[in-house]
Amino acid sequence: MRMEADAFERLVIDELDALPDEMVDGLENVAFVCEDAPEDGSDILGEYQGVALTERDRYGFGELPDRIVVFREPLLRLCADEEELRDEVHITLVHEIGHYYGIDDEELHRLGWA
């Protein structure tokens, strides 16, 4: 599947807007970013870069924002059409937001979000 970076970013924004308020209302100081591919060349679909809420001892003024990165190229390789891409982006966003809240991969798999 092919999709230009700006169209992909709009799709990610649409999927982020479609997430339940209960999931996103607790997000604080988090930047959502679209990148072409992971620097290490892996095929991960997304990545949470930060310190989970359950691991923080303090957080406040002057802290750089955590980042949730969605990787365009691995997602496009995985998906056959836009509907499948939307589903995978949705799952990726939920998965990475789960890490923000301190949910590990094992629990995300159990919940069906991995």
CA neighbor of 69 nearest in space, from 49, 42, 53: 49
Element (H, E) at 21: helix 21-24
Query: What DSSP designation does 20 have?
Result: -
pLDDT at 110: 87
**For 18-32, how does the pLDDT look when each residue is reduced to its tens digit (9 = 90+)?**
999 989 999 988 999
Running DSSP on this structure, what letter comes out for residue 104? -
Query: What are the pLDDT digits (tens) for 43-67?
Result: 999 999 999 988 887 666 667 899 9
pTM over 0.85: yes
Q: Which residue has the tokens 């957080």?
A: 59
Distance of CA 52 to the CA centre of its chain: 14
